Structure 1
Amino acid sequence: MRLKDKVSLVTGASRGIGRAIATTFAREGSDVAVNYYQNKAKAEEVANEILAMGRRAVTIQADVMDKERVGEMVGEVIKEFGKIDVLVNNAGIVWKPSKLLETSEEEWDRVLGVNLLGTYHCIQASAPHMIERGYGKIINISSLAGIGTTFLEQAAYGPSKAAVINLTKRLAYELGKYNINVNAIAPGLVRTEILSSGMSEAEVERSFQEVAKLAALGRVGEPQDVANAALFLASDESSFITGQVLVVDGGRFNFLSHSV
């Protein structure tokens, strides 16, 4: 088991990529704190799945934009499990489609608030504990949209994910001396519910078909593809890797200037 007796905190773990990461980590021996924002029932489903594997699990509600609540969440995890070995900053949002010049300040603030500020809050709350223990793995879920741009009209999303990549590299530099690895994953288009919040079902399917044609492997990603990458970065197999961005996109070689 690659994460035997580890403790992982996964934000946004009630669905999609976060759910796949949480259950994959548990399957490999980790106890898991399942963070969610609104969907308690879905989070409890994930926790019950983990418990059925013989691992421990708790569900914790927290809006990652709320610094005080994030601090409480981290404290609750440490109280329950005694430590945090792995932090996965997965909580993220998109918004209704909009071009940059049509993007409202509300949209801009909310998207960057969850995707960037939320990541910052979780790291600020968790890193001191990891520093004290002299060990930690921090995995930030960015996006291919943070490396290039996107043909989807999500003007705030790409900049928020680009900033997460920069934050990852800065933190890797600052935290390396404490034996803390900080890396990011940049998924391409993945079949998750997050897209349904800003696009119609037809638009989502059309995007899937377009992206599948552009990928060397001829398909879009599944949550498990990202979870497998996260498992590698959480395990001891990646002990000499930090400050890196692991792209999980099926081989978008013919569209490198763009992303999801």
Structure 2
Amino acid sequence: MYSFTDKVVWVTGSSTGIGSSIAKAFAEAGAKLVVHGNSNVDAAKETVNAVQALGAEALLVTGDVTKPLHIQEMVEQINARFGRLDVLVNNAGTMVKRSKIEDLDHDTWNNIFDINVSSVFHVTKAALHLLKKSANGNIINITSIAARNGGGGGAVAYASAKGAVSTLTRGLAKELLEYNIRVNGIAPGVIETPFHERYSSQELLDKMTAQIPLGRTGTPDDIAGVALFLASDYSSYLVGEIVEANGGMLMD
């Protein structure tokens, strides 16, 4: 259905979960992949192997997306290998930990914003000159249903950060149109990933699942399909849109 033959796609945080599924989906559609890992490089290598098994060319870059120097080094590697970038998926992010406001310390708050918001800014800025070389550049930022509903218990910092990602997405969408770069976002709901294995108890997961009209939690592939759509010509009139992919848990 979608063809990204010879397109260069960089997915940050593509070791596991949503990022890994997005990378594999673009590989199946013919793209050349830049796979990124930081804390779990071994898993990132597994994603590279899976992408290559699908017949796609893959480059592995590693580094901390909260550190501009690391980002610049990764961008230089992409430039040396491919010379351009067609699609950037800003997926890297995490909750760090659940913490109620009275227990939330300054460093944790800043860390959550660095990982989820500042990373999007720094990566986008560093990669912009490569995206400008594309005939139809595309940026997809992964935000969250938490940006709209405030998140589950102890997620006020994460929800606030993802709200900032959604706003940043709309601002970038307006600013980058002059370079023929479209920017949109995806706000996943409750998705079966290592994220919830780490930060959500089974009791909390059951409670959230009960609120999903579709009757099930989502899978990383559910989000990967949305990413393919947003990066394709089928969505050519979508700009600054946040696609709520949550099984009906939140409806506009």
What is the CA–CA distance in structure 2 between the aligned matches of 1:248 and 1:185, rounded to whole Å? Answer: 7
Q: Deviations over 1:192-221 (max 9, x none)?
A: 11233334xxx1x22222222111101111
Residue in structure 2 matched with residue 15 of structure 1 by the alignment: 16
What is the CA–CA distance in structure 1 between the aligned matches of 2:210 and 2:122, rounded to whole Å? Answer: 38
What is the CA–CA distance in structure 2 between the aligned matches of 1:4 and 1:60, rounded to whole Å? Answer: 21
Maintained 8 Å contact 1:135/1:179: yes
Q: Deviations over 1:85-123 (max 9, x none)?
A: 000000001122211222111110111001000111110
Residue in structure 1 matched with residue 226 of structure 2 by the alignment: 229
Per-residue deviation, 1:153: 1.2
Q: Match for 1:209: what amino acid?
A: D
Q: Match for 1:36: what amino acid?
A: G
Residue in structure 1 matched with residue 191 of structure 2 by the alignment: 190
Residue in structure 1 matched with residue 28 of structure 2 by the alignment: 27
Maintained 8 Å contact 2:5/2:31: yes
Q: Match for 1:121: what amino acid?
A: H
Residue in structure 1 matched with residue 180 of structure 2 by the alignment: 179
Per-residue deviation, 1:124: 0.4
Distance 1:46 1:175, change over 3 A: same
Per-residue deviation, 1:128: 2.4
Instruction: Within 5 Å, give how 1:10-159 maps onto structure 2.
Output: 10-159=11-160
What is the CA–CA distance in structure 2 between the aligned matches of 1:133 and 1:41, rounded to whole Å? Answer: 31
For the aligned residue pairs, the C-alpha RMSD in angstroms reads: 1.5
Q: 5+ residue gaps in structure 2?
A: none
Q: Deviations over 1:214-233 (max 9, x none)?
A: 11101111111111111111
Q: TM-score, normalised by structure 2?
A: 0.95
Per-residue deviation, 1:132: 4.3
Instruction: State whether structure 2 residue 217 is matched by structure 1 residue 220.
Output: yes
Secondary structure of 1:214's partner?
coil
Per-residue deviation, 1:148: 2.0
Secondary structure of 2:132's partner?
helix
Per-residue deviation, 1:16: 0.3
Q: TM-score, normalised by structure 1?
A: 0.92
Q: Match for 1:194: what amino acid?
A: F
What is the CA–CA distance in structure 2 between the aligned matches of 1:83 and 1:151, rounded to whole Å? Answer: 39
Q: Match for 2:234: what amino acid?
A: E
Q: Deviations over 1:45-84 (max 9, x none)?
A: 1101111111100111110000111011112112112211
Instruction: State whether structure 2 residue 212 is matched by structure 1 residue 211.
Output: no
What is the CA–CA distance in structure 2 between the aligned matches of 1:253 and 1:174, rounded to whole Å? Answer: 28
Q: Match for 2:192: what amino acid?
A: R
Query: Alignment length, in residue pairs?
Result: 251
Distance 1:122 1:87, change over 3 A: same
What is the CA–CA distance in structure 2 between the aligned matches of 1:99 and 1:124, rounded to whole Å? Answer: 33
Q: 5+ residue gaps in structure 1?
A: none
Maintained 8 Å contact 2:183/2:240: yes
Maintained 8 Å contact 1:143/1:188: yes
What is the CA–CA distance in structure 1 between the aligned matches of 2:47 and 2:134, rounded to whole Å? Answer: 28
Residue in structure 2 matched with residue 2 of structure 1 by the alignment: 3
What is the CA–CA distance in structure 2 between the aligned matches of 1:116 and 1:85, rounded to whole Å? Answer: 22
What is the CA–CA distance in structure 2 between the aligned matches of 1:5 and 1:141, rounded to whole Å? Answer: 23
Maintained 8 Å contact 2:190/2:218: yes
Maintained 8 Å contact 2:14/2:35: yes
